[in-house]
Structure 1
Amino acid sequence: MPERTLRVAVVDDHPVFRLGMVGLLASLDGIEVAGQAENAAQALALVDEAVDVVLMDLHLGDDSGIETTRDLVRRLPGLAVLVITMDEDDESVVAAVRSGARGYLLKSASPTEVERGIRAVANGEMILGPQVAMRAMATLTSGRTAVRVPFPELSDREREVLDLLARGYDNATIARRMVLSPKTVRNHVSNVLTKLGVADRAAAMIKARDEGLGG
Structure 2
Amino acid sequence: MKRLRVLLVDDHSLVRAGVRALLGALPQVEEIIEASSGREAVELVRARAPDLVLMDIAMDDMDGLEATRMITAEQPEMRVIILSMHDTGDFFDQALRCGACGYLLKDAAVSELEMAIAAVMRGDVYLSPAVSRHLVGNMLSRDAPEVRAAGALTPRQTEILQLIGSGLGTKDIARKLDLSVKTVEAHRAQIMERLGVRDIANLLLEAARRGLITLGRS
TM range (shorter): 0.5 to 0.7
Q: Residue 34 in 1 paired to residue 14 in 2?
A: no
SS state at 1:59 partner: coil
- 1:23 is displaced (CA, Å) by 1.1
Aligned partner of 2:7 in structure 1 is 9
Residue 30 of structure 2 aligns to a residue whose secondary structure is strand
CA distance in structure 1 between the aligned counterparts of 2:67 and 2:145, rounded to whole angstroms: 31
Please tell me whether residue 70 in structure 1 is matched to residue 47 in structure 2.
no
Question: After superposition, what is the alpha-carbon deviation per residue over 1:106-132, rounded to whole angstroms, capped at 9, x for unaligned?
Answer: 100111101111111111101110110
Letter in 2 for 1:14: H
Letter in 2 for 1:35: I
Rate the CA distance shift 1:75–1:24 in 2: closer, same or farther, 3 A: same
Which residue in 1 is equivalent to 2:106?
Answer: 107
- Alignment correspondent of 1:120: 119
TM-score, length-scaled by structure 1: 0.63
**Which amino acid counterpart does residue 143 of structure 2 have in structure 1?**
R
Looking at structure 1, the residues matched to 67 and 129 of structure 2 have their Cα atoms a distance apart, in angstroms, of: 25
Corresponding residue for 1:196?
Answer: none
CA distance in 2, matches of 1:30, 1:61: 31
Partner amino acid, structure 1, of 2:104: L
In the alignment, is the contact (CA less than 8 A) between 1:69 and 1:81 conserved in 2?
A: yes
Q: Which amino acid aligns with 2:6?
A: V
Aligned-partner SS, 1:42: helix
1:99 deviation in Å?
Answer: 0.2
Partner Cα distance (1:143, 1:40) in 2? 31
Q: Could you say what secondary structure the match of 1:60 adopts?
A: coil
Displacement of 1:83 in angstroms is: 0.3
Are 1:57 and 2:47 an aligned pair? no
- Whole-angstrom distance in 2 between the partners of 1:146 and 1:57: 35
Q: Is the 8 A contact 1:25 1:33 kept in 2?
A: no
Greater C-alpha radius of gyration: 1
Amino acid at match of 2:124: E
Q: Distance in 2 between matches of 1:10 and 1:63?
A: 15
TM-score norm. by structure 2 comes to 0.62
Count of aligned pairs between the two proteins: 145
Per the TM alignment, residue 41 of structure 1 is displaced from its structure 2 partner at its CA by 2.4
AA aligned to 2:108 is A
Note the C-alpha offset of 1:146: 6.6
Whole-angstrom CA distance in 2 between matches of 1:111 and 1:18: 15
Contact 1:53–1:81 (Cα < 8 Å) also in 2 = yes
Matched residue SS, 1:63: coil
SS in 2 for 1:51: coil
Stretches of structure 2 that go unaligned for 5 or more consecutive residues are 147-218
Residues 1-215 of structure 1 aligned to structure 2 (within 5 Å): 3-48=1-46, 50-142=49-141, 144-145=143-144
